[in-house]
Structure 1
Amino acid sequence: MTAKGLEVIEHTVHLTHEWINELCERLDWSSHKDALRLLRVTMRTFRDYLSHDEIAQFTAQLPLLIRGMFYEGWNPSPTKGKDRHLDAFLAEIDAEVSNVTEYRGSEDIRTVLRFLNARLSSGEIEDIRASLPEAIREFWPSTKI
C-alpha cells in the first residue's frame, strides 16, 4: 500500500504508460506525446458515430486516464449528422495530427485501430465496428482472422 493509499491512481498511470509505450513501438515513433495524441484524436473521431451505450461499454475497458481523455470535451447531446465517408473520417484525424513529423496518415491510423484490437475484447471491437459506417468499418481491421 502506498503512503497515501491511492493505488488506483498509481495503477492507471502505470497502465497508461504501458499503452503509450506499446503504441509508440507499434507506430515506430520516438514521441510518446504524439502517439498519445494520435490515440486520443482517433478515438474521439469515431466516438461521435457510437451510441451512448456503446461508448460506455467501450470506455469501460480503457485505462482510467485514457478514458478521461476520451470523454474530455464530449457533449453527449445529439449532434448534427457526421459525414459518413471514410475520407471525411481520415481528414478529421489528419487535421489534428498532420503537423506531427512522424505521422504517415492512414497507415498510422490503422496502427492505432490494430492496437485497440489487441488491447480490448474482440467482442467489443466488433460491436464498435458494426456501429460505424460501412467504409469506416472496412478500414478498421477486423479482429476475426
Structure 2
Amino acid sequence: MTHTTISSFTQAAQQAQQWVNELAADLNWSEPRAYHLFRSVLHALRDWLSPEEVADLSAQLPVLVRGVFFEGWQPQESPVWDRKKEDFILRIGRDFEHDMLHDADTAIAAVFRLLDRHISPGEILQVRNSMKKSLRQLWPAH
C-alpha cells in the first residue's frame, strides 16, 4: 500500500512538472516563470467560473495541479462579478508586478492552449462558453 501511495505522489509531481515544462517551452520562458503564470491564470480562471464549473474543471486536472487550482479559493466570492477580459488581464498583471508581463494576451492564451491539450473538449467548451466573448477569444479556435 505504501509503495502505491509514494508512486501516486511521484506520478502527480511528474505530471504537474510536464505541464509546466510544456508551458515554458511554448513561451520560451524559464520553468519558474511559467509556473508563476500557470498558477496565476488558474486562480483567475477559477475565480471567473461558477462553483459548479470550478468543480467540473478541477475533476480533470492532475492531483497536484488541482491543489494549486484550489489554493486560497474563497467560493463565496466566486464568480467575480465583473468578468471582462481587461479585468482578467489586469488580475494576471498584478501577479507580475515585479516581473513585467509584456504580452499578457499571448501568455494567457498559452495557458489556455495547455488546458485545451489536456482537458476534454466538452469541458473546455463549457468553460469557454461560461466566459465573456472577449476573454473567450484568447482560447484556441476550434
What is the TM-score normalised by the length of structure 2? 0.88
Query: Kindly tell me: are residues 13 and 99 of structure 1, through their superposed partners in 2, closer, same or farther at Cα, counting changes over 3 Å?
Result: same
**Deviating 4+ runs (over 6 angstroms):** none
**Residues 42 and 112 of structure 1 are in contact (CA less than 8 Å); yes or no, is this contact kept in structure 2?**
yes
Task: Report the equivalent of 1:88.
Answer: 87
Structure 1, unaligned stretches of length 5 or more? none
Q: CA deviation at 1:48?
A: 1.6
Identity of aligned residues (%): 33
Say which is worse superposed, 131-140 or 106-115, in terms of deviation: 131-140
d(CA) in 2 for partners of 1:65 and 1:131?
25
What is the TM-score normalised by the length of structure 1? 0.86
Q: CA deviation at 1:83?
A: 2.0
d(CA) in 1 for partners of 2:5 and 2:116?
33
d(CA) in 1 for partners of 2:52 and 2:67?
17
Structure 2, unaligned stretches of length 5 or more? none
d(CA) in 2 for partners of 1:81 and 1:106?
20
Equivalent residues, number = 142
Task: Report the equivalent of 1:11.
Answer: 11
Whether 1:115 aligns to 2:114 is yes
Q: Which AA in structure 2 matches 1:92?
A: R
Q: CA deviation at 1:3?
A: 5.2
Query: Kindly tell me: are residues 111 and 6 of structure 1, through their superposed partners in 2, closer, same or farther at Cα, counting changes over 3 Å?
Result: same
d(CA) in 1 for partners of 2:115 and 2:139?
10
Q: Which AA in structure 2 matches 1:25?
A: A
Structure with the largest fraction of helix: 2
